[in-house]
Amino acid sequence: MKDYRIYAREVFSIEAKALSDLSKQLDQQFNHAVDAVLKSKGRLVICGVGKSGLIGAKIAATLASTGTPSMFMHPVEAFHGDLGMLKKEDVLMAISYSGETEELLKLIPFIKSQKIKIIGLSGSPTSTLAQHSDFHLNVKVYKEACPLELAPTSSTTATLAMGDALAVALMKARNFKSEDFAKFHPGGSLGRKLLTTVEQVMFKTKLPIVKHNDSIKTVINTMSTGRLGLAVVEQNKKVKGIITDGDLRRAMDKYAQDFFNLSASDIMTPAPKTIRKTMKMAEAEQLMTSSKITSLLVTSIKGELEGIVQIYSLSE
């Protein structure tokens, strides 16, 4: 079989160089563009045709999910009525690698008449688009990854990267946090972790509780009926320790025939990791991951057991 990875590596090399060159081309126009979006009271409307349009739609989606109100407007549809979407408070980002896309340039007189700021993305600072933009972001690449130098490859990668750079700069400027991101992604796993509290997913009833002086037989029966793979050791209604399946197995190996003569306090892990029910699941996950455990005891301020949360709850 022919090794086609040689072509893949060539593409990666060409496009990596394109991104490196992009960094060197970055100038003060980028700062002005970011500042214009931050000062705008409207949306950042993205416009482009063909591959540039597809990249533009993705950039708009990234911006919208990271705190910058944004939408994609197809220039052809705009010329046939969708220009009504634009407001004077908006900023338009026009994408055309050549900077000479006719469908896009036809919109400029209207955009200018409405005094809407234009951020132009093209591969030529002398293009018509660049000359009519308030701010121009240069996405020039010196070689397309396409061996025919026809299909937009490196150029679309560079354009997408510039859009990502703009989105990240705006996130930093707005101090956009993970909690803000979660608000725009409530249906995703990240949203659930960041917005869901421990109380909403913890086990609250029929908790596997044993007393510190209960027998090993009682511990085993409690763990079996509780079906959480652990037992909580209490004394005077306060959590004193935890017993897991692993604790049981290690105790069996260590004490052998004396195993059933032990009590819960003999094999428990004292002072187990706990969390409050008002904490977010993201915090619970971080604590479980850093501690290399799969369960957390949910306790009150007084140290009384209120529930049990497990890492498996994160995927439900």
pLDDT of residue 195: 66
Query: Could you tell me which residue, 143 or 201, shows the higher pLDDT?
Result: 143
Are 228 and 285 within one domain?
Answer: yes
* 301 class by beta-carbon count within 10 Å (0-12 exposed, 13-18 middle, 19+ buried): exposed
Are 17 and 156 within one domain?
Answer: yes
Are 93 and 154 within one domain?
Answer: yes
Q: Does 187 map to a domain?
A: no
Are 270 and 121 within one domain?
Answer: no
Q: Look up residue 43 and give its two tokens.
A: 């949306």
CB distance 274 to 263 below 8 Å: no
Please state the pTM of the whole predicted model: 0.65
pLDDT of residue 314: 57
Which of 176, 203, 220 is at the close of a domain?
Answer: 176
The CATH number given to whatever domain includes residue 200 is 3.10.580.10
**How many separate domains does the chain show?**
2
Q: For the segment 164-190, what is each residue's pLDDT rounded down to a tens digit?
A: 999 999 999 988 776 666 665 555 555
Which of 121, 145, 176 is at the close of a domain?
Answer: 176
Are 158 and 211 within one domain?
Answer: no
Are 151 and 205 within one domain?
Answer: no
Ranges of H-type helices in 43-197: 50-65, 75-79, 102-105, 108-113, 128-131, 154-174, 178-183, 189-195
Are 97 and 209 within one domain?
Answer: no
Are 55 and 167 within one domain?
Answer: yes
Are 217 and 274 within one domain?
Answer: yes
The CATH number given to whatever domain includes residue 152 is 3.40.50.10490
Q: Does 184 map to a domain?
A: no
Helix (H, G, I), strand (E, B), or coil: what is residue 32?
A: helix
**Sequence-distant (≥ 6) Cβ neighbours of residue 53 within 8 angstroms:** 47, 72, 74, 75, 95
CB distance 224 to 243 below 8 Å: no
Q: For the segment 34-63, what is each residue's pLDDT rounded down to a tens digit?
A: 999 999 999 999 999 999 999 999 999 999
pLDDT of residue 186: 53
Are 14 and 148 within one domain?
Answer: yes
Q: Does 207 map to a domain?
A: yes
pLDDT of residue 56: 95
Are 155 and 52 within one domain?
Answer: yes
Residue 238: phi and psi, rounded to 5, are: -110, 145
Are 113 and 168 within one domain?
Answer: yes
Q: For the segment 205-223, what is each residue's pLDDT rounded down to a tens digit?
A: 888 888 988 998 998 998 8
Segment 234-254 shows an average pLDDT of 88
Query: Could you tell me which residue, 275 or 190, shows the higher pLDDT?
Result: 275
Return d(Cα 224, Cα 205) in angstroms, integer.
15
pLDDT of residue 224: 87
pLDDT of residue 29: 96
Q: Does 11 map to a domain?
A: yes
Q: Does 64 map to a domain?
A: yes
Amino acid at 19: L
Q: Does 189 map to a domain?
A: no
Among 79-83, 145-149, 214-218, 296-300, the minimum mean pLDDT is found in 79-83
pLDDT of residue 294: 83
Query: Could you tell me which residue, 18 or 199, shows the higher pLDDT?
Result: 18
Question: What residues form DSSP beta bridges with 3?
Answer: none
Q: Does 186 map to a domain?
A: no
Q: For the segment 97-130, what is each residue's pLDDT rounded down to a tens digit?
A: 999 999 999 999 999 999 999 999 999 999 999 9
pLDDT of residue 130: 96
Over the chain, what is the mean pLDDT?
Answer: 88
The residue segments making up the domain with residue 110 are 5-176
pLDDT of residue 180: 62
- State the greatest distance between any 2 C-alpha atoms of the chain, in Å, as a whole number: 91
